[in-house]
């Protein structure tokens, strides 16, 4: 996997920035505590989506889970590599 694909894959898939309190201050400045949430990485989200699709197919139901999981991660990596290409 290229460096660009690795960076892309490690970025948050469903990131939520720190929220502002009702005064317009971030949680670092105000009295309220509002967490940031990174959630899954893009690589994890892509692999999860592939696994969800694979698991409900006849092949997924008849294949060793370790093989399916490896395939789903490889699919996520291939998607990240393609997205990293400049084009």
The domain total for the chain is 1
Tally Cβ neighbours within 10 Å of residue 49. 15
Q: How far is CA 9 from the centre of its chain?
A: 7
Mean pLDDT score, 17-40: 57
Q: Please report the pLDDT score of residue 49 as a whole number.
A: 94
pLDDT of residue 29: 47
**What phi, psi does 41 have (nearest 5°)?**
-80, 165
Q: Which of 5-14, 27-36, 65-74 has the lowest average pLDDT?
A: 27-36
- For the question of whether the overall pTM of this predicted structure is more than 0.75, the answer is no
Domain limits for position 9: 3-84
Question: Virtual CA dihedral for 24, 30, 33, 38, nearest 10 degrees?
Answer: 60
């Amino acid at each position: 996997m290229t460096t660009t694909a690795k960076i892309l894959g490690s970025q948050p898939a469903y990131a939520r920035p720190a929220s502002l309190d009702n005064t317009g201050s971030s949680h670092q400045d105000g009295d309220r505590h509002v967490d940031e949430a990174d959630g899954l990485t893009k690589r994890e989200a892509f692999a999860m989506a592939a696994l969800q699709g694979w698991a409900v197919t006849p092949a997924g139901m008849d294949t060793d889970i370790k093989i399916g999981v490896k395939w789903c991660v490889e699919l996520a990596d291939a998607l990240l590599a393609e997205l990293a290409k400049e084009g």
